[in-house]
A and B are shown apart, each in its own frame.
Chain A
Amino acid sequence: MPDGIYQRMFEREREARKRAEELLESMSLELFAAYTQLKKSSEELFTIFRSVTDGILTFDSTGIIETLNPAVERIFGYANEELVGRNIAMLLPNRELEFPLDDSFWLNRCSEVQPKFSTQGLNAKGKVFEMELSVSRASQAGREFYVWIVRNTQQIRSIERKIAVSQRLEAIGQLAAGMSHEINTPIQYVHENTKFLRDAFEAMESVLSQVEHHLSSDPTEEPSTLSNRFRELFGGNRLAFFRTEVPRAIAETIHGSNRVTSIVQAIKEFAHPGNNEKTALDLNHAIASAITVSGNHWRSECEIETNLDPNLPMTLCHVAEINQVILNLLINACDAIVENPMQASRPGKIVIKTWHEAEFVKLSISDNGMGIKRENLDRIFTMFFTTKAVGKGTGQGLAMVHSIIVEHHGGNIDVVSQPGEGATFIISLPQSL
């Protein structure tokens, strides 16, 4: 072998080793940075997985549960270790009907076919509850599995009901000032009339005591003398005055107290928290209550004309929710009239009609206010959408109305509007009786 070959080969190998070491060190640093980033991302994803309020659960194609987040534990009442390794069927009622929960069963329920669907769940206490489910099929490293995203809709309904109650109480709070005025006016004339009756009675009392005195002191007195004495007592038109004014004061007082009673009754009906059961409601009566409760809100702005079907069937509903719907629409109609720039030249008017068609009870509330712009018609029932000024509307009213009518009662709500001319909301509710 010629001289120097091994020396040159050694030099090349040494250079190659140094280069390799540099590269390995650089790769090691890159790997460490990548690992750190991956760990951070993984921790972030894990935190999201653990903190979301919807339940996330995965299971294999035979239904064996693999992973779940704490929301699943809360929704079903099982601990993680009680679910992992068990079959998904344990979380569903009527297992005997749905077996086998095989691949094809879940494939048919995948999000491509059904984005989400309502079904029933079975919790650890054996209680069946309503839940919303979306199922998707995932694949990782050649392994197929399913992902459940589950939401306890029973809890959501309960929260919605609480929101509806608080909205109703908020509405009552907003109307409280107006209602106090509504009550104060009749109370004032009841008070004034009562004072008048008291004074009248005091005057009559002196007459009566003199009559009593006369009758007990001289039974032989001449009738002409007696007449003179009465004429003295009742002097001028005093008797005529009392005979006219006292019945009027009494009538007014009765009217005033009736008015207060009806307002208080309407408030009571409106503020009633209701319960989970549907009860029969006379929609005409509910409209009258809403008109009474909101009187101070609309009386100075517009007139209300009612055209109510006297033969309207009762409707089975959540009474408090329907009261809320009518009041919301009434106040919205009034606000639309106030906001209408044409209002000065055109008196505001709200028309409320009821009628029935087939199996439905119908209600329409029309106003001649500013109307709804065409581009907003599709969005008015969307939560938090509002065209009212900041602080005036939260955008929850019509969303709640829609949810109550459509989701809670299986009814329908339509809106027809001509911008600048007004709007009509038409509600259909199943009679269900």
Chain B
Amino acid sequence: MKGVVFTEFVDFVETKYGLELVDLLFSNCQLESGGAYTSIATYDVKELLQLVGELSRQTDVSPSKLVVEYGRHLFRFFARTRASMMSHLSSCEELMASVENQIHVDVRKLYPDAELPSIKFERVSDLQSKVHYQSARPLADLAEGLILESVVHFRDPITVVRKDLPPGDGCIAEFVLTRNV
């Protein structure tokens, strides 16, 4: 998994819980990388799951809730640092529709070895659309956080309902986006 997900996770923990908790997480997790993350490297997703598990233990907040929260943080980071990639988009649906055919295409140009999830967008009606998430990693929570924050970013009056799909391990999920009339 790309290093930026790890460096931003550290930034998220430090911003929300402070530097001491970051230090505690690294001390308790005994990570293979030692926690010396750089955004241009690639790390095993297990390290992220280890850190989330430890953060959950230390904060008493469920891992799922933490990862959704981190997804929101990550979206804000992308919106700030990759603004040009989103400048031509005006809604959450447009963003979701462009993930697979534009954003992931560009990511693969930069990182040919990137293992990206499949994000399929389907417009059901004028008011409703569906985003089908599928990944080799159990990060449906992260996808949820990203989608929720994109709704905030575009100031869209949209309600997001998540439905986990079998086998229910967080690798496959469907998000129904409904515009509030």
Which A residues lie at the B interface, using CB under 8 A? 1-2, 5, 8-9, 11-17, 19-20, 23-24, 27
Query: Are B36 and A13 interface neighbours, CB within 8 A?
Result: yes
Query: Are A20 and B20 interface neighbours, CB within 8 A?
Result: no
Stretch with Cβ within 8 A of A (4 or more), from B37-45, B83-91, B133-141, B173-181? B37-45
Query: Are A19 and B41 interface neighbours, CB within 8 A?
Result: yes
Q: Which residues of A are found within 8 Å of B53, using beta-carbon distances?
A: none
Give the complex CA separation of A2 and B180 in angstroms. 49
Q: Which residues of B are found within 8 Å of A11, using beta-carbon distances?
A: 36
Residue of A nearest to B39 (CB): A20
Q: Which residues of B are found within 8 Å of A14, using beta-carbon distances?
A: 36
Max chain B C-beta neighbours (<10 A), residue from A19, A24, A27: A19
CB distance from A9 to the nearest CB of B (A): 7
Which B residues lie at the A interface, using CB under 8 A? 19-20, 22-23, 26-27, 34-41
Query: Are A27 and B40 interface neighbours, CB within 8 A?
Result: yes
CB distance from A2 to the nearest CB of B (A): 7
| Number of CB contacts from chain A to chain B under 8 A | 38
28 contacts between A and B (CB under 8 A): A1-B19, A5-B20, A5-B23, A8-B23, A8-B26, A8-B27, A9-B23, A11-B36, A12-B26, A12-B34, A12-B35, A12-B36, A14-B36, A15-B34, A16-B36, A16-B37, A16-B38, A17-B38, A19-B36, A19-B38, A19-B41, A20-B38, A20-B39, A20-B41, A23-B38, A23-B40, A23-B41, A24-B40
Query: Are A15 and B36 interface neighbours, CB within 8 A?
Result: yes
Q: Which residues of A are found within 8 Å of B23, using beta-carbon distances?
A: 5, 8-9
Lowest 6 A-B CB distances belong to which pairs? A15-B36, A20-B38, A16-B36, A16-B38, A12-B36, A5-B23
Residue of A nearest to B7 (CB): A16
Give the complex CA separation of A12 and B37 in angstroms. 8
Give the complex CA separation of A23 and B38 in angstroms. 10
CB distance from A72 to the nearest CB of B (A): 33
Give the complex CA separation of A19 and B22 in angstroms. 20
CB distance from A37 to the nearest CB of B (A): 15
Besides A8-B27, A9-B19, 13 more A-B contacts (Cβ < 8 Å) are: A1-B19, A5-B20, A9-B23, A12-B26, A12-B34, A12-B36, A16-B36, A16-B37, A16-B38, A19-B41, A20-B41, A23-B38, A27-B40
Q: Which residues of A are found within 8 Å of B20, using beta-carbon distances?
A: 1-2, 5
